[in-house]
Structure 1
Amino acid sequence: MTVDLIHVDASKLAELIRTGEVSSVEVVRAHLDRVEAANPRLNAVVTRVDEALNAARAADEALAAGGEVGPLHGVPFTAKDSFDTAGVPTQRGSPIFAGRIPDTDSTAVARMKSAGAILLAKTNLPEFSYWVETDNLLTGRTNNPWDVNRSSGGSSGGESAAIAAGMSPLGLGTDLSISVRGPAADTGIMALKPTHGRIPMTGIWPRQPRRNWHVGPMARSIRDLALAYALLAGPDGDDGFATVPRDFDTGLGTSPDRPVRLGWLVDSGLGPTHPEVAATVRAAAEALRSTGAQVDSVSIPALERDNPLELWNKLSIMEVKPAFQQVTAGHEDQMFSYSKFVAQLPDTSMDDYVQAEQAVERLRDGFAEYFHHYDALLMPVTTIPAHEHQLSEFTLDGRTMGAFHVSSTTVPFNLTGHPALSMRFGTSSDGMPIGVQLVANPYAESTILHLASLLETLSPVRDQHPSL
């Protein structure tokens, strides 16, 4: 049989390998060949793993010997270059860490390997994972495979570009304010930011603070997100935020005993949204209505009272600056421009910090009230489709917004820790992917995975790939 190995999902690849229709060596070689062909234009991959083909041969031998195999046996995956990888450079997008080679794998990488997956490559990121575009002084800028003059997002922009371009079927990213969901929307793939603490951050810098950081899988299918999430979630005995047991249902293939209650919004105090993004959210709401869901246009007063982006800025300056200062002291000449900007921001006053903390509590209360009435929330991922490189500001509805406004619709759920999923459901007039975001109560990932699987079957852009 002839199979387009670089465009089928990881679940299908695992099935093909288990049944002997293809070998792991064939799959890994196909993806390495794709990296060779596509990466010069994209700069998504920063390190290829030399041992990947040897690992694939070992996987084929183990399968031939009849031993037990994991759910991703022989399937390649990639990881953002902030995840520690034993014997493979983890440079965090910074000359300060050039050539750094960890001795051990991060928990997330180790769990992927335990499931039989093979680390293929490391992917690009902004310095320290701290910006909405992927660029740095060490490994340079990543381009969007739909249009190389556009950004692939940040901070997991290398990962999103690699998956969208067929260099990887499945990957690992991190999310501080937008960083798996936004890049997924920019490049037309899917990503899940689970409930805070659901997947341990062990082996990912910075170790502190971790309160708003999340690990999330990125993929080209909802079933791949669900599978990776099931493999990655659960305590590791090291990350104090990861305490909830691993027993859960991903929600795929099951239907609740009553109609799902879904609210959708486009603004609700979060600022202006591009009209094509708003139209895509409305289209997704109507698609879910057609499945029998109860769908209502909603507002959330808590979002209108306290601006999450302003709160995030106040809190992150206070919490992230010390981590920056610790590693950059004496290396200021090696810092990327945005890192320098963050390091030089004035400290948040203690009064402002306390008020911001109290406002975050109000946000949590507001979402608790909302989810008392609804099972999920549908809204934009980013406020605009993928933008040109080095965008500093843009205008919507006559208002000029800073570049970080693209995250105004994602950052609330880093502050509160709610699970949120990004998937493509539309296309802009100039051919760029447009995503929608599904949000649920803490630990209710099964709800949004179920809804996303319904949307996936109804998507007007299903199985579209960039022509790069």
Structure 2
Amino acid sequence: MTKASYDDVGSGPLHYRDATSLAAGIAGGHVSSRDVVQAHLDRIAELNPQINAIVTLRAEAALREADVADEAVRRDAEVGPLHGVPFTVKDSLDTAGIPTQRGTKLFAGFVPDSDATAVARFKSAGAILIAKTNLPEFSAWTETDNLVTGRTNNPWNLDRTPGGSSGGEAAALAAGMSPIGIGSDVAISLRGPAALTGVVALKATHGRIPYTGHFPTVTSAWWHVGPMARTVRDVALGYAILNGPDGKDGYAVHDEHTAAATTRVAGQTVRVGWVSDDAFAPVDPEVTAAVARAAGQLADLGCHVEQVRVPFIEAARPLETLMTLVNGELTPYIKRLATDREDQLSSIGVEILQMSDPTFGDVLAARSRAESLRSAFAGYFGRFDVLLCPVTPITAPPHAMATLEVDGVEVPSTHVMDATSVFNLTGLPALSVPFGFSSEGLPIGIQLVSRWFDESTILRLGGLLERRGGLGDRRPGGSQPDSAEWRVASTR
């Protein structure tokens, strides 16, 4: 991607400049960190009462840290890639000396002693933590609501959900309350909220970004921590900062420069297979049309593009399989945690308590299906470099829906996870990119998936697509000028 300058995103308000541009402006003395932080604090004061994305605010502390950042620039000190830029963090990640309530009364008022690895890495890059963002209890649902900090609304339409579990983070970014943030994902929780609110999120290869300091640790085999922002280049920057082992997470053991094993030879065109209804039906026709349009754009850019069939996804029953494995670990843990405090749980927590532990046979069958699915994807990525598909089958639905109508078919609300959970089950990297709007004026997202450790390819393609079919200058409550169109080579 091209190197950023402060002026390359036009003359929009500070709260809608992207983090890359703001960092360049602060480092170059074009704008102060204090002004940038204050602009986001003003935006929070203006919009958060309606959206409720921010649950813990560090206004005075963030301004003090901004002054320190500005003094460093005046001294011509060496600065990090996010120097003086504010950021937000999902309230499932530990923050030293700052409440981390995890969406549950069981941890109301809990203050950790240390930062999660991801938080510490953003701080080391010079970023300033401005706020924590909302989530469902235990990060365990697709609606961001809990008994401690309440419900988060979608900034595009307050009657709609921003999704979950990183719904507060997505809503804050979409509304200009933060330029960049950190969320997490066990089945949909980064990519779904991003798609429903018109922002970008990356679920990198499992283990690329350490999980250390995220709750609950018991399900770390499936969870992914990841960056969220309004532009792909910001997410790429966030990923570059977060990526790499920390010596604590036993899954984060690969060097940050570990590359994908690929069958594509030097100079060969990027090979993209795309699918929508054939794999994830029912899907709203407007969502399928966006995926097809993205496929056409990639073909125009020189990629080899084919519509594909992936019957092995349906055969694996990925959502059922993933939930068997995740809940098999989460349910006994929550039962122990909530002993004698069951009355403090939300309906989500109560539902977890009521789940039956899977049998040994259930777990064995689930693991067998998961391994078969990984093998099938290894075969797919021998023929293609990227899978293009929906993120969610619909745009943002109304709050608290138990069932959804999708293309005339009534389905359980859990259907929103069918196109995302498969990539948590396999640990494949997946990027959610906004790609236009529905007839209701709600954002539509598309999902780019690559082979393990090949985040670079989907980030490059995602950058192309956001400029050709993204949100442009449309933002809830404001505007963000569009970047100049650009093209990248189709070779690695």
Shared topology, TM-score over 0.5? yes
1:453 is aligned to 463
Tell me how far 1:155 sits from its aligned partner.
0.1
Amino acid at match of 1:408: D
- Other structure's SS at 1:147 match: coil
How many angstroms apart in 1 are the aligned matches of 2:66 and 2:471?
33
Contact 1:124 1:158 (8 Å CA) reproduced:
yes
Contact 1:300 1:366 (8 Å CA) reproduced:
no
- Other structure's SS at 1:109 match: helix
Tell me how far 1:301 sits from its aligned partner.
2.5
1:206 is aligned to 216
CA change 1:344–1:215 in 2 (3 A) is same
In the TM superposition, structure 1's runs of 4+ consecutive aligned residues that sit over 6 Å from their partners are: none
Tell me how far 1:169 sits from its aligned partner.
0.2
Instruction: Report percent identity of matched pairs.
Output: 52
Partner deviation per Cα, 1:313-333 (whole Å, 9 max, x = no partner): 222221211221232222111
2:49 is aligned to 40
- Other structure's SS at 1:457 match: helix
2:16 is aligned to 7
Partner deviation per Cα, 1:382-410 (whole Å, 9 max, x = no partner): 01110000011012344321111101000
1:16 matched to 2:29: no
Tell me how far 1:462 sits from its aligned partner.
2.2
1:349 matched to 2:322: no
Q: Which stretches in structure 1 are left out of the alignment for 5+ residues?
A: none
Tell me how far 1:312 sits from its aligned partner.
1.7
Q: How many equivalent pairs are there? A: 464
Matches within 5 A, 1:291-330: 291-330=301-340
How many angstroms apart in 1 are the aligned matches of 2:309 and 2:299?
18
Amino acid at match of 2:458: I
- Other structure's SS at 1:377 match: strand
Contact 2:319 2:422 (8 Å CA) reproduced:
yes
How many angstroms apart in 1 are the aligned matches of 2:391 and 2:279?
15
Superposed CA RMSD in Å reads: 1.5
Higher alpha-carbon deviation: 263-272 or 4-13: 263-272
Contact 1:45 1:162 (8 Å CA) reproduced:
yes
Tell me how far 1:249 sits from its aligned partner.
8.2
1:189 is aligned to 199
How many angstroms apart in 1 are the aligned matches of 2:266 and 2:52?
43
1:153 matched to 2:163: yes
TM score, norm. by length of structure 2: 0.92
CA change 1:456–1:397 in 2 (3 A) is closer
How many angstroms apart in 2 are the aligned matches of 1:33 and 1:363?
47
Partner deviation per Cα, 1:278-304 (whole Å, 9 max, x = no partner): 111011111111101000000112113
CA change 1:335–1:372 in 2 (3 A) is same
Partner deviation per Cα, 1:96-146 (whole Å, 9 max, x = no partner): 111111111110000000000000000000011010010000000000000
1:81 matched to 2:81: no
Contact 1:44 1:161 (8 Å CA) reproduced:
yes
1:390 matched to 2:400: yes
Corresponding residue to 1:422 among 425, 432, 440: 432
Partner deviation per Cα, 1:44-92 (whole Å, 9 max, x = no partner): 0000014100000000011111111001000000000011101111000
1:261 is aligned to 271
Amino acid at match of 1:28: V
1:437 matched to 2:464: no
- Other structure's SS at 2:292 match: helix
How many angstroms apart in 1 are the aligned matches of 2:44 and 2:178?
8
2:72 is aligned to 62
Contact 2:244 2:256 (8 Å CA) reproduced:
yes
Tell me how far 1:204 sits from its aligned partner.
0.8
Tell me how far 1:460 sits from its aligned partner.
4.9
Corresponding residue to 1:368 among 378, 383, 397: 378
How many angstroms apart in 2 are the aligned matches of 1:76 and 1:248?
29
TM score, norm. by length of structure 1: 0.97
How many angstroms apart in 2 are the aligned matches of 1:397 and 1:115?
45
Contact 1:43 1:142 (8 Å CA) reproduced:
yes
Tell me how far 1:162 sits from its aligned partner.
0.1
How many angstroms apart in 2 are the aligned matches of 1:398 and 1:406?
15
Amino acid at match of 1:84: D
Q: Which stretches in structure 2 are left out of the alignment for 5+ residues?
A: 1-6, 479-492
How many angstroms apart in 2 are the aligned matches of 1:169 and 1:195?
24
How many angstroms apart in 2 are the aligned matches of 1:137 and 1:125?
11
